[in-house]
Amino acid sequence: MVRGGQRDGVEWVEPCGGRGSEGADGLRGIACYTARVPSHLESFLLHLERVAGKEAEFRQVSPPSKPNRAVAIIFTDWPEPGSLTAVSYGRSLVLHKDGPGAELALIIRSADPAWPLAVCELAERLQTAHLSVGDFVRWGDKERPCPISSESDMEAFLISEPSGPLEPFRDASRAEGLELFQVIPILAPELHAIAEHGAKLVIPDPADPNRSAVC
Concatenate the DSSP letters of all residues of 114-137 into one string. Answer: HHHHHHHHHHHHTTTS---TT-EE
Beta bridge partners of 84: 76, 108
* Total of domains in the chain: 1
Q: What pLDDT, on the 0 to 100 scale, is given for residue 210?
A: 96
Q: Is residue 209 part of a domain?
A: no
Q: What's the CA gap between 31 and 72, in Å, rounded?
A: 14
Q: Is residue 192 part of a domain?
A: no
Q: What pLDDT, on the 0 to 100 scale, is given for residue 39?
A: 60
Q: What pLDDT, on the 0 to 100 scale, is given for residue 110?
A: 96
Q: Is residue 197 part of a domain?
A: no
Residues in the chain: 215
Is the whole model's pTM more than 0.85, yes or no?
A: no
Q: What pLDDT, on the 0 to 100 scale, is given for residue 81?
A: 96
Q: What's the CA gap between 3 and 6, in Å, rounded?
A: 10
Q: Is residue 66 part of a domain?
A: yes
Q: Is residue 141 part of a domain?
A: no
Q: Is residue 96 part of a domain?
A: yes
Considering only CA atoms, which of 185, 202, 190, 200 is closest in space to residue 84? 185
Q: What pLDDT, on the 0 to 100 scale, is given for residue 178?
A: 82
Q: What's the CA gap between 187 and 213, in Å, rounded?
A: 6
CA distances from 117 to 73, 75, 89, 194, 213 (A): 10, 13, 12, 25, 24
Q: Is residue 6 part of a domain?
A: no
Q: Is residue 2 part of a domain?
A: no
Which amino acid appears at position 205 of this protein? Answer: D
Considering only CA atoms, which of 214, 181, 208, 206 is closest in space to residue 7? 181
Q: Which residues contact 90 (CB under 8 A, 6 or more apart)?
A: 68, 69, 70, 71, 103, 120, 123, 124, 127
Q: What pLDDT, on the 0 to 100 scale, is given for residue 13?
A: 57
Beta bridge partners of 201: 4
Which residues form the domain of 91? Answer: 16-133+160-184
Other residues' Cβ atoms within 10 Å of the Cβ of residue 208: 16
> Could you list the pLDDT tens digit for every one of the 215 residues in the chain?
444 444 444 455 554 433 323 333 333 333 344 444 556 677 888 888 989 999 999 888 776 666 667 889 999 999 999 999 999 988 887 776 666 678 999 999 999 999 999 999 899 888 888 888 888 898 877 677 789 999 999 999 999 999 888 988 888 888 878 889 999 999 999 988 887 766 678 898 999 999 999 98
